[in-house]
Amino acid sequence: MKTQVPPVLTIEQKHSYDYIIRSGLAGGIAGCAGKSLIAPLDRVKILFQTSSPEFRKYSGARMGLWRAAKTIYTHDGVLGLFQGHSATLLRIFPYAAIKFVAYEQIRSLLIPTPKHETSVRRVLSGSLAGVSSVFFTYPLELIRVRLAYETRADHKTTISQLCKYIYNEGRTTENPTGRGLQNFYRGFIPTILGILPYAGVSFWTHDTVHDIFRSSLLARYAVSQPESDGRRYPLKVWAQLTAGGLAGMISQTASYPLEVVRRRMQVGGALGDGSFAKILPTIKMIWLEKGTRGFFVGLTIGYVKVIPMVSCSFFVYERTKFLLGI
């Protein structure tokens, strides 16, 4: 039985509750699929970025990624490679759902007709969508990073224990109340600064490559069926995966230095010195440690991780929307 291809929807239809719910569901599923695909790589990358004492020797070394993953597997088994992934899924479903819904809604407002279609509006739509999703889900991201940062097999912290610990970090006799909820937004500013180019460039690249594949020159090779009767057929598998992969690679390059700064700030309370690093001192510290290279530690892993993750996410999102009739 042939799947019914939905027609191109109007702006009013895209603003309906039905469309928002369906696109949010598609986005959440897509985000979970992409993150699950690369969860082991994500764990290793976080350990490299945050200069974990036990794994610093592997960063930049030949076969360092493989050796680090093997060490984790030897000590903790397969589950060790997915440490912190439960927190990832708790975060990524609402994060991806909000991001894709926000992009669809903001894009329809900034680009109501084809004549309004510009690169600036596309980048702005993606950037605002990324900021919206980060604002609502950042505490879950911090918890995920802290869980992934733990490397001691004899000291595994539950999510509830970690939340209590983070909440109480920074309490002293001079400051008995500590920072409380503010601790869950440590590293938030560099995250926002990083998500602006990451999300903006990601959506811009994805949509631009889509346009190229749908051009008269490539459509017969890249689109599953010729578009007609106001219906928009999805790209072929190879074309959709390529569009997502390029989006991941280019956006990762644009935002990676700020991602390193963010990770170092997020694990500040886990380093045991009770300090709370700010963005400029953290940048200075990274610069003094390794210079320019310090801002790109783990970038190779970043490419290996982000390209399949973003490719998978966009592919699952587009296919799920198709199955849901939007």
Phi, psi dihedral angles at 279 (to 5 degrees): -65, -45
Q: What is the pLDDT of residue 1?
A: 40
pLDDT at 62 over 90: no
Residue 309: give the domain boundaries: 11-323
pLDDT for 5: 60
Structural domain count, the chain: 1
Place 244 in a pLDDT band, splitting at 50, 70 and 90.
Answer: very high
| pLDDT digit string, tens, across residues 256-314 | 888 888 778 777 654 455 455 678 888 888 888 888 888 888 788 778 888 999 999 99
Has residue 154 got a pLDDT over 80?
Answer: no
Inside any domain, residue 166? yes
Render the burial of 137-153: b for 16+ CB within 10 Å, e for the rest.
bbbbbbbbbbbbbbbee
Instruction: Over range 84-95, report the average pLDDT.
Output: 84
CB 139 within 8 A of CB 133: no
Question: What was the pLDDT predicted at 163?
Answer: 87
The verdict on residue 22 lying in a domain is yes
| Position 192 in a domain | yes
Exposure string for 19-40, b = 16+ CB within 10 A, e = fewer: bbebbbbbbbbbbbbbbebbbb
pLDDT at 26 over 90: yes
pTM: 0.75
206 burial level (CB within 10 Å; 0-12, 13-18, 19+): buried
Task: Indicate whether 230 pLDDT > 80.
Answer: no
Establish if 111 belongs to a structural domain: yes
User: What are the tens digits of pLDDT across the range 135-153?
Assistant: 988 888 888 778 777 655 5
Using the predicted structure, report yes or no on whether residue 316 has a pLDDT greater than 60: yes
**Mean pLDDT, the chain, integer:** 83
In a domain, 63, yes or no: yes
- Range name among 30-39, 87-96, 179-188 with the lowest pLDDT average: 179-188
CATH of the domain at 116: 1.50.40.10
